[in-house]
Structure 1
């Protein structure tokens, strides 16, 4: 079943390999996402309930701002990755990053 699933979905899965390694690594690296989820779980696990959605969002906003102060590890080869992103996704970064 697993092999059949891979074969059926290979056109979607293989799209990843069309990009150079400078782009592939930031795409498949999930450590940053997992760190954010871990912070969110730490913030919410001791709370029983929230009076409304805004109170939850405020807690997460303040918590993530505080946690981001500790995130000092730079992404390896980020300059090269940004250059590659700007080539493969032309125009999508223009409003955010001046190249």
Structure 2
């Protein structure tokens, strides 16, 4: 793999970042609605998923990436990782480095991300 294939605007790193944010947003929506996507528990619940909105996010290096933000029918979903009306990505990597510098082990950080966002990271 070349450097361009890894860090270009369509490179692997940008794709992984987009997928990461989309998975976290889906996990946040699951938490908000109280059930997972395609689960029958959501039938006649009064609120359900209602497609996606495309959003362009400005990354730490001032490049951009596109993500799909899930919507709910009642418009009550408030994303945490990238809040509504925000264009900048939070300093996610800085937060992980900060947790590590405060003494959290890699396993503690992995467990924290799993508990908070429902995302497995290695």
TM-score of Structure 1 vs Structure 2, range by shorter chain? 0.3 to 0.5
Query: TM-score, normalising length from structure 2?
Result: 0.30
Give the number of the structure whose residues are more often strand, by fraction: 2
Query: TM-score, normalising length from structure 1?
Result: 0.34
Give the number of the structure whose residues are more often helix, by fraction: 1
